[in-house]
Amino acid sequence: MLAPIRPSPIIPSCMASACHGASTFRPVADPRELDRDVAGAAAAHQRLLADLDAWVESGDADPASSSSLPGWSIGHVLSHLARNAVSHERMLDGLEQYDGGAEGRSAEIEAGADRPAAALVLDVRRTIWSLESRWAAHTDWDVTVDRLAGSCPAHDLPFRRWRETAVHHVDLGIGYTFADLPSDYVRLELRRLEMLWMARRPMGLTTLPEAALHRPPHERLAWLLGRSAIDGLPPAGIF
């Protein structure tokens, strides 16, 4: 689950209510949309791994360096990405997302964060391989799974993994930015998050502020995710 920007070394889960927006999530899996999300996540995985390999090969890789998430090092983000991949397999197995819930999640991240860069990247790579193999073999995409933040249909998991990979790739702070995100991901994510933002307004039907609408899509997305500010606007407040 995405770690929101907030000053705490133990970063809680976000998107706590996102699974419950009926207009945002498909009740039955559409094979074409499932294929799109799996392909998008797989492409995000490969871009992440390529950048991580270059980071390690540069000779300057330091997992103890701060990421853009307060309280988390690069090692924390990589440890989380690997454990999140495992958690997606757990959910497809009908298990709770993280063994031990939120405390177990935090403990796993902390336990893995101090490893050398090469070991962290290998962990991310192996857990990606395992998750993608599991997606290829899975058939019951309409079942409900139990996430740490609430239940949702299994067919929504590939998009959620796409989000985790894309946004935390930016959070690493190793050169990948919101401007580098693929346009199809930005478009799909904006549709979800704008609906979620509007649902939390007093009347539930208001539009985004003009200052946000006038920003490029990737900047608007960064604001909605709590990753950047827009002059004249308070935080989006989704998370």
- Residue 11: per-residue pLDDT: 33
Q: Phi and psi dihedrals of 93, rounded to 5?
A: -85, 0
Residue 38 and residue 116 in one domain: yes
- Residue 201: per-residue pLDDT: 80
Domain that holds residue 221: 179-239
Q: What pLDDT, in 10s, does the model give residues 184-196?
A: 999 999 999 999 9
Residue 151 and residue 216 in one domain: no
Residue 185 and residue 101 in one domain: no
Residue 101 and residue 117 in one domain: yes
Helix extents (H) in the chain: 31-57, 74-92, 101-112, 117-137, 157-171, 183-199, 210-213, 217-224
pTM of the shown model: 0.88
Residue 41 and residue 126 in one domain: yes
- Count of the separate structural domains present in the chain: 2
Residues of the chain with pLDDT below 50 are 5-24
Residue 190 burial (C-beta neighbours within 10 Å; 0-12, 13-18, 19+): middle
Domain presence at residue 24: no
- Residue 23: per-residue pLDDT: 39
Which residues are within 8 A (CB) of 158 and not within 5 positions of it... i.e. 6 or more apart? 34, 37, 38, 40, 41, 135
- Residue 200: per-residue pLDDT: 83
Neighbours of 100 (CB within 10 A): 11
Considering only CA atoms, give the Rg of the chain. 17
Residue 164 and residue 105 in one domain: yes
Domain presence at residue 60: yes
Residue 51 and residue 124 in one domain: yes
- Residue 3: per-residue pLDDT: 64
67's tokens = 């990421």
